[in-house]
Amino acid sequence: MTRELRVVDSRDVGAVLEGLRNALSGDGPAILPHPGSPPGSPSTVLQRVALVVETSGSTGNPKRVALSSDALLSSAAASSVRLGGDGQWLLALPAHYIAGINVIVRSLAAQTEPVVMSVEQFASERFVAACERLDGPRRYTALVPGQLARLLDDEAAVEALRRFDAILVGGQSMPADVARRALDLSVAVVRTYGSSETSGGCVYDGVPIGNTLVAIVDGRVELAGSVLAEGYLGDDARTSASFAEHDSTRWYVTDDRGVLNGSMLTVTGRIDDVIISGGVKVSLFEVEAHVRAMPGLDDSVVVAAHSQQWGEVPVVVSTRDLDVVTLRASVSAALGPAAAPARVVVVDAIPMLSSGKPDRVSLAALVRD
């Protein structure tokens, strides 16, 4: 059986909320939240599909992830249990991004009204003003690391952050100094790991929530549980490649590298972020983490560039003019000479996707050019 798939303008949060309410209950069509008119949208989906999320395409081609009502509500229930109960949410992320959509789903599941702030130009004063409209006994929000870093620089925003019972931070790796500052300032940050394919975050502070299972297969993170997506809309080949069944369990095969220490997951980078520089394997994830931990460099991004001499080399893109000699010495001492960035490209601002992630495709093209 099938049902209608309707595109909803994600800039109209009220329309997304009402569309999701009807989709989850089965009373209305499935929805595809989008900030414009996505090309080539199908008109129908399977009856069990309630939501289609178009991924950000931060490292490649966007995908359309089909999620069932059961998966979305299972994610909301697991999150509520892990956080200590239902609460009122502040929506500070776009409503076409899975973390933003989850704020709406959790609000619907808890029968609470989310507070919505404008995210077109995120600013500390807007965040503080939105926080004043929260009146629930328990308060939650979801942010990306860049937003959190900006808020920690503002005294009034820090006071507002302290009033939250939990602040979910995911979407990308959080710089170590941002995590330390949040802890020192008594801000209740919960690091989340997951993706659109897992209905958003399904691992909190390294520990799976709900009935989520984690496995490491040949160094790659695999995830299972009731939060898994149905697959990719109109792309059976990609679905078959990303979702596999073994041990009588359906697993989502991620593009992330990781290690398990008991039940604790540590993500160590992406499968495709390892380059060969002068015959030596170099993890761009590790280089970027080291650079971002240096004072004032928490928004820097590391991408690969071609080198006639070495094959590929790391390149740092930053909004600050860095001392390359000092930077290379620091990275070399920590990660080895092959990991030392070849150069620094200074930009006025790091190009970002609507999800709050750096646009690595654009950055790679910038470095290449």
| Phi, psi angle pair for 263, to nearest 5° | -100, 5
Q: What pTM does this model have?
A: 0.82
Angle at 232 between CA 56 and CA 107, to 5 degrees: 65
**Paired tokens of 218:** 């040949």
pLDDT of residue 56: 60
> CATH fold of 2-204, please?
Rossmann fold (3.40.50)
How many helices and strands (H and E) does the chain possess? 11, 23
For 267, other C-beta atoms within 10 Å of its C-beta total: 17
**Paired tokens of 311:** 């094959």
pLDDT of residue 5: 95
Measured between alpha carbons, how far is residue 16 from residues 120, 187, 328, 349 in Å?
Answer: 17, 30, 47, 30
Q: What is the largest CA-CA distance in the chain?
A: 63
Residues of each domain in the chain carrying CATH 3.30.300.30: 278-368
Quote the crossing angle between the two packed helices 69-83 and 98-110, to the nearest 10°: 80
pLDDT of residue 274: 83
pLDDT of residue 325: 92
What whole-number distance in Å separates Cα of residue 23 and Cα of residue 36?
20
Per-residue pLDDT of the chain (369 residues; tens, 9 = 90+): 899 999 999 999 999 999 999 999 999 999 999 988 777 777 899 999 999 999 865 545 678 999 999 999 999 999 999 999 999 999 999 999 999 999 999 999 999 999 999 877 789 999 999 999 999 899 999 998 889 989 999 999 999 999 999 999 987 778 888 899 999 999 999 999 999 999 999 999 999 999 999 999 999 999 999 999 999 998 999 999 999 998 899 999 998 989 999 989 999 888 878 888 888 888 888 898 899 888 888 889 999 888 888 888 999 999 988 888 999 999 999 999 999 999 999 999 888 876 667 888 888 888 887
| Phi, psi angle pair for 41, to nearest 5° | -80, 130
pLDDT of residue 57: 55
**Paired tokens of 102:** 């989850």
> CATH fold of 278-368, please?
GMP Synthetase; Chain A, domain 3 (3.30.300)
DSSP H helices, the chain, are 13-25, 69-83, 98-110, 124-131, 145-152, 155-161, 176-184, 236-242, 284-292, 324-335, 360-368
Residues of each domain in the chain carrying CATH 3.40.50.12780: 2-204
* 27-45 as b/e: b if 16+ CB within 10 A: ebbbbbbbeeeeeebeeeb
pLDDT of residue 295: 85
